[in-house]
C-alpha cells in the first residue's frame, strides 16, 4: 500500500492562508490504513485548524470536510461535485495520486497536499510501516530471495553488499538491516547461492520512463456504464 | 605491454607501496602539490580520492592530472555515487586520453554520510558493473553497444573488506569483481592481521594482486570516531587501548609506529603483494612511516 505522513500543521496553514472556504478531503484506502489521511485524520485536521484559528483570529477560514472511498478513481471523485460549490481551495489528505486526480477533476480550484506521500510499503508491526517496493518496473525478486535490493539497499546496488555494513546493519543507519546481508542469508537458506554469485548487469531504466502508463482493459471488470 | 607504469610494477613481483591524497575543498591545490612532490618518489602510485566519505572536494580526475604533471603515477578513484553510466564513460575516455591508466572502482559511500545530504544519490551502476563497463570500453564499444574510436586501456583495481564482520557476502562480491576483470585490490583498513591472513589465503586462488590498506590512526578518539562514523572501519579495542595509553599529544607518533609495524610485518611475512597507506588528512607523514617501516624491528 501507499504510505504517507501528515504535513505539519504550520505548513498546511501557510498553504491555505489566501483561501477563505476550504474543503478537507480524506481518502478511504491506503492513507486511512496508515493513519495519515482517512476520515479520522480529516476530522482531526479540521479540529486542529479551527483551534489554531481560535488562537489567531487574524486569518479566518471556513472549513468543511468529506472523505471519499478512493481519490484515485474518477467515479468516487464525482461525488465531490456537490460539495465544492463556493469552495476556494481543497486540501487533499490522499497520496500524491489523489491530490492530482482531484486537481484534474476541478481545474478551477486550487488543490493542496495535506500529506507527504512517502513510499510503497507494508505494516511490519502495529503502527510501523516499512518500504518494500520502489515500483522499478522490472521485478527481480525471484533472483534475490524475495528481498528487494533496489528498495532496501540504500544504494540500490545489484551485485552484493558494499563495504559499509557493520553487524548486519547499513552504513546509513544502525537500525536498518543491510539488504544484501538479508539476501545472502535467505538465498543460503533456500539453497540458491548460485543466484548470489551470478553477475547482474546494469539496470534497464527504460522500464521507468516517467510518467508510466499501462493499459489492461481486458483484466478490469467493466462497470454498467462502461459495458 | 602493460597499460601503465603501475601495472608493470604490480607484475614485477616487488613489494608495492601506494598511498592516497584527498584533494582540497576548493581551488587552491598548493598543499596537494606539496604532498605529491614529497610522495611521488616514495611510492609506486598515488590514489586520488573521489569525494571521500561523500564530502565534496576538487575532483579525483583533476587531481590525477596534477599528479601526472608533477611526475607521479596516479590511480583514479572512481565511485558510482555521483555519475551515471554516460558520465562515467566520458570521464574514463578523458582519463585515458590524458594518460591516466589506473582506475580504482568503488561503489562509493552513501550520500547520507557526507556534507551534501540533500543530494541525489546516483548509483546507476555498481562497482562490479563499473569494472565490466571499463572492460567493455577496452573492447572498442560503449555500454550502449556503439563502437568507439580510440580504444582506451586501463589497469583496473577495486576494494575488498577482509575485516567485515560478515565476510561471506564480501567474498562473493570479491569473486564477482575478479571475474569482471579487476587486477588488483586495495583492501579497506586492516587492523587485525589474522583476518588479513585468512583473506589472503582465500584470495591466493585468483590471479590478482592484494595491497593491504593501512590507515594511520592519530588518537584513540579518532579510532573511536571512525568506528562509529566511517563505513567499513573497525579498529579493535587493543589498538584503541594502545593509543589511549600514550601521553597527550603523542597519539599520532603512536599511530605512525603502529602503521610502520603493520607494514613491516606484512612485508616480512609476504602476506600481501604490497600495502596501500591511508593517512587521512596527514599525507605529509607518509614518507616518514615508510622510512620507519624499513627500520623498525617487528614487535607486538
Written as one string, the DSSP assignment of A85-99 is: TT-SEEEE-S-HHHH
Report if residue A23 sits inside a domain.
Answer: yes
Does A161 contact B176 at a Cβ distance shorter than 8 Å? no
Do A79 and A141 lie in one domain? The reply is: no
pLDDT score of A209 more than 70: no
**Domain coverage including residue A92:** 2-119
A101 and A169 together in one domain: no
Nearest-CA residue of chain B relative to A202?
Answer: B125
The distance of B220 to chain A (nearest Cα, Å) reads 20
The CA distance from A174 to the nearest CA of chain B, in Å, is 10
- pLDDT of residue A220 exceeding 70, the answer is no
End residue of a domain, out of A87, A119, A151: A119
- Domain at B5-295, CATH from 3.40.1160.10, 3.90.1410.10, 3.40.50.2300, 3.20.20.220: 3.20.20.220
- Residue A125 predicted with pLDDT over 80: yes
Nearest to A184 among B128, B169, B232 (CB): B169
Q: Is the pLDDT of residue A227 over 50?
A: no
B126 contact A CB<8A: yes
* Whether residue A49 sits in one domain with residue A84: yes
d(CA A106, CA A159) in angstroms, rounded, equals 47
Chain B contact present for A172, CB below 8 A = yes
What's the CATH number where A92 sits? 3.40.50.2300
Query: Is residue A58 domain-shared with residue A156, that is, in the same domain?
Result: no
Which residue, among B227, B279, B234, has the nearest Cα to B252 in the 3D structure?
B279
What mean pLDDT is reported for chain B? 95
Residue B198 pLDDT class (50, 70, 90 cuts): very high
Interface residue of A202, A205, A207 to substitute, partner B, most B CBs within 10 Å: A202
- Cβ–Cβ < 8 Å for A41, A95: no
| Residues of A with Cβ-Cβ distance to B83 under 8 angstroms | none
Q: Is B176 on the interface with A (CB under 8 A)?
A: yes
Higher pLDDT, B19 or B229: B19
The structural domain count of chain A equals 2
Residue A216 binned pLDDT confidence (cut-offs 50, 70, 90): confident
Residue A131 resides in a domain: no
pLDDT at A222 over 70: no
Q: Give the phi and the psi of residue A192 in degrees, each rounded to 5.
A: -120, 45
Identify whether residues A86 and A54 lie together within a single domain. Answer: yes
Q: Does A132 touch chain B (CB under 8 A)?
A: no
Q: Is residue A214 part of a domain?
A: no
Please indicate if any CB of chain B lies within 8 Å of the CB of A207.
no
Structural contact between residues B163 and B190, judged by C-beta atoms closer than 8 angstroms? yes
Each residue of B115-143: pLDDT tens digit?
A: 999 999 999 999 999 999 999 999 999 99
pLDDT confidence band for B233 (50 / 70 / 90) = confident
Distance from the B132 Cα atom to the nearest Cα atom in chain A, whole angstroms: 9
Question: A176 touching B, CB under 8 A?
Answer: no
Domain termination site, one of A94, A119, A144: A119
For chain A, what percentages of helix, strand and coil (3-state, to nearest 5) are there? 35, 20, 45
A158, A94: one domain: no
B182 in reach of chain A (CB within 8 A): no
Statement to judge: residues A104 and A143 lie in one domain: no
User: For the segment B73-115, what is each residue's pLDDT rounded down to a tens digit?
Assistant: 999 999 999 999 999 999 999 999 999 999 999 999 999 999 9
CB contact under 8 A, B124 and A203: yes
Q: Given pLDDT bands bounded at 50, 70 and 90, which one contains residue B296?
A: low
The pLDDT assigned to A18 comes to 95
- % of chain A exceeding 70 in pLDDT: 95
* pLDDT of A64 over the 50 cut: yes
Using an 8 Å Cβ cutoff, are A42 and A25 in contact? yes
Q: Which of A83-87, A202-206, B58-62, B240-244 has the lowest mean pLDDT?
A: A202-206
| Residues A145, A110 within the same domain | no
* Residue B228 to residues B98, B159, B233, Cα–Cα distance (Å): 39, 21, 8
The whole-angstrom separation of Cα A49 and Cα A36 is 16
What ranges do the domains of chain B cover?
Answer: 5-295
> Chain B contact for A140, CB < 8 A?
no
Average of per-residue pLDDT across B32-61: 97
Contact A180 B232 (CB under 8 A): no
Angle, helices B167-180/A179-189, rounded to nearest 10 degrees: 90
Judged by a CB distance cut-off of 8 A, whether residue B164 touches chain A is yes
Return the pLDDT at B177: 98
In three-state secondary structure terms, B256 is helix
Q: Please indicate, yes or no, whether residues A61 and A165 belong to a single structural domain of this protein.
A: no
| Whether the predicted pLDDT of B268 surpasses 80 | yes
**Per-residue confidence (pLDDT) for residue B229, from 0 to 100:** 82
Q: What is the pLDDT, as a whole number, of residue B299?
A: 46
Statement to judge: residues A161 and A55 lie in one domain: no
Q: What local confidence, expressed as pLDDT, does residue B300 receive?
A: 41
Interchain pair A199, B179: CB under 8 A: yes
- Most A CBs within 10 Å, among B130, B231, B234, B235, to test the A interface: B231
pLDDT > 70? residue A71:
yes
CB A45 within 8 A of CB A91: yes
φ/ψ (deg, to 5) at A30 = -50, -50
Predicted confidence at residue A206, as pLDDT, reads: 83
Indicate whether A114 belongs to any domain: yes
Strands (E), chain A: 2-6, 21-27, 62-68, 89-92, 111-113, 115-125, 128-133
| B177/A59 Cα distance (integer angstroms) | 63
Q: What is the mean pLDDT of chain A?
A: 93
| Same domain for A173 and A96 | no
Q: A176 and A140: one domain? A: yes
Nearest to B231 among A163, A167, A168 (CB): A163
Contacts of A184 in chain B (CB under 8 A): 166, 168-169, 172
| Three-class secondary structure of residue B79 per DSSP | strand
Asked whether residue A127 is assigned to any structural domain, the reply reads no
B187 Cβ contact list (under 8 Å, min separation 6): B159, B160, B161, B162, B196, B199, B210, B211, B212, B213, B276
Q: Which range among A124-128, A130-134, B215-219, B292-296 shows the weakest confidence by mean pLDDT?
A: B292-296
Render pLDDT for A147-198 as a digit per residue (tens, 0 to 9).
Answer: 999 999 999 999 999 999 999 999 999 899 999 999 999 999 999 999 999 9
pLDDT at A20 over 90: yes
Residues in chain B within 8 Å Cβ distance of A197: 172, 175-176
pLDDT at A213 over 90: no
Q: How confident is the model at residue A208 (pLDDT cuts 50, 70, 90)?
A: low
Distances (CA, A) of B46 to B37, B77, B127: 11, 10, 20
* Res B250 pLDDT > 60: yes
Residue A151 lies in a domain: yes
Whether B33 has a pLDDT exceeding 50, the answer reads yes
Minimal C-alpha gap between B14 and chain A (Å)? 28
What does the alpha-carbon distance between residue A154 and residue B139 come to, in Å, rounded to a whole number?
Answer: 32
The verdict on A168 touching B (C-beta cutoff 8 Å) is yes
Mean pLDDT of B48-59: 97
Optimal mutation site among B128, B143, B215, B230, interface A, most CBs of chain A within 10 A? B128
- The answer as to whether A69 is a domain residue is yes
Residue A195: predicted pLDDT: 97
Q: Could you tell me the three cell numbers for A66?
A: 468529506
* pLDDT value at residue A56: 84
Determine, yes or no, domain membership for A95: yes
Amino acid at each position: 500500500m501507499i504510505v504517507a505522513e501528515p504535513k505539519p500543521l504550520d505548513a498546511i496553514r501557510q498553504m491555505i492562508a489566501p483561501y477563505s472556504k476550504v474543503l478537507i478531503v480524506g481518502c478511504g484506502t491506503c492513507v486511512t490504513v496508515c493513519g495519515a489521511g482517512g476520515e479520522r485524520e480529516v476530522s482531526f485536521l479540521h479540529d486542529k485548524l479551527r483551534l489554531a484559528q481560535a488562537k489567531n483570529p487574524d486569518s479566518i477560514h471556513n472549513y468543511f470536510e468529506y472523505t471519499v472511498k478512493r481519490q484515485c478513481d474518477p467515479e468516487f471523485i464525482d461525488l465531490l461535485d456537490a460539495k465544492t460549490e463556493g469552495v476556494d481551495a481543497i486540501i487533499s489528505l490522499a497520496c500524491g495520486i489523489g491530490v492530482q486526480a482531484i486537481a484534474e477533476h476541478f481545474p478551477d480550484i486550487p488543490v493542496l497536499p495535506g500529506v507527504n506521500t512517502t513510499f510503497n510499503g507494508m505494516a511490519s508491526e502495529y503502527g510501523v510501516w516499512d518500504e518494500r517496493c520502489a515500483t522499478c518496473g522490472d521485478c527481480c525478486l525471484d533472483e534475490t530471495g524475495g528481498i528487494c535490493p533496489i528498495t532496501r539497499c540504500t544504494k540500490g546496488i545489484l551485485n552484493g553488499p558494499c563495504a559499509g555494513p557493520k553487524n548486519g546493519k547499513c552504513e546509513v543507519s544502525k537500525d536498518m538491516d543491510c539488504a544484501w546481508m538479508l539476501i545472502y542469508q535467505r538465498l543460503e537458506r533456500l539453497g540458491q547461492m548460485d543466484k548470489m554469485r551470478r553477475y547482474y548487469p546494469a539496470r534497464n531504466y527504460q522500464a521507468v520512463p516517467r510518467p508510466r502508463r499501462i493499459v489492461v482493459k481486458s483484466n478490469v471488470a467493466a462497470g454498467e456504464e462502461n459495458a | 605491454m602493460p597499460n601503465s607504469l603501475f601495472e608493470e610494477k604490480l607484475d614485477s613481483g616487488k613489494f608495492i607501496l601506494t598511498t592516497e591524497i584527498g584533494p582540497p575543498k576548493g581551488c587552491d591545490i598548493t598543499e596537494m602539490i606539496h604532498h605529491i612532490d614529497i610522495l611521488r618518489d616514495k611510492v609506486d602510485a598515488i590514489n586520488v580520492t573521489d569525494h571521500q566519505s561523500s564530502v565534496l572536494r576538487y575532483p579525483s580526475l583533476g587531481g590525477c592530472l596534477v599528479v601526472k604533471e608533477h611526475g607521479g603515477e596516479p590511480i583514479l578513484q572512481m565511485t558510482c555515487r555521483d555519475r551515471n553510466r554516460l558520465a562515467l564513460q566520458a570521464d574514463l575516455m578523458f582519463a585515458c586520453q590524458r594518460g591516466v591508466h589506473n582506475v580504482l572502482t568503488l561503489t562509493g559511500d552513501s550520500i547520507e554520510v557526507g556534507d551534501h545530504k540533500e543530494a541525489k544519490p546516483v548509483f546507476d551502476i555498481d562497482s562490479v558493473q563499473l569494472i565490466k563497463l571499463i572492460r567493455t570500453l577496452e573492447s572498442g564499444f560503449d555500454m550502449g553497444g556503439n563502437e568507439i574510436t580510440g580504444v582506451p586501456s586501463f589497469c583496473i583495481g577495486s576494494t575488498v573488506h577482509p575485516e567485515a564482520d560478515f565476510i561471506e557476502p564480501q567474498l562473493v562480491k570479491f569473486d564477482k569483481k575478479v571475474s569482471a576483470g579487476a587486477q588488483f585490490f586495495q583492501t579497506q583498513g586492516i587492523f587485525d592481521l589474522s583476518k588479513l591472513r585468512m583473506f589472503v589465503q582465500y584470495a591466493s586462488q585468483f590471479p590478482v594482486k592484494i595491497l593491504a590498506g593501512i590507515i594511520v590512526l592519530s588518537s584513540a578518539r579518532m579510532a573511536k570516531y571512525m568506528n562509529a562514523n566511517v563505513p567499513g572501519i573497525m579498529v579493535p579495542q587493543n589498538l584503541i587501548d594502545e593509543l589511549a595509553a600514550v601521553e597527550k599529544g603523542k597519539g599520532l607518533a603512536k599511530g605512525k609506529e603502529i602503521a610502520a609495524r603493520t607494514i613491516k610485518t606484512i612485508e616480512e611475512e609476504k602476506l600481501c603483494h604490497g600495502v596501500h597507506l591511508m593517512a587521512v588528512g596527514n599525507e605529509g607523514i607518509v614518507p616518514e612511516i615508510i622510512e620507519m617501516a624499513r627500520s623498525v624491528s617487528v614487535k607486538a
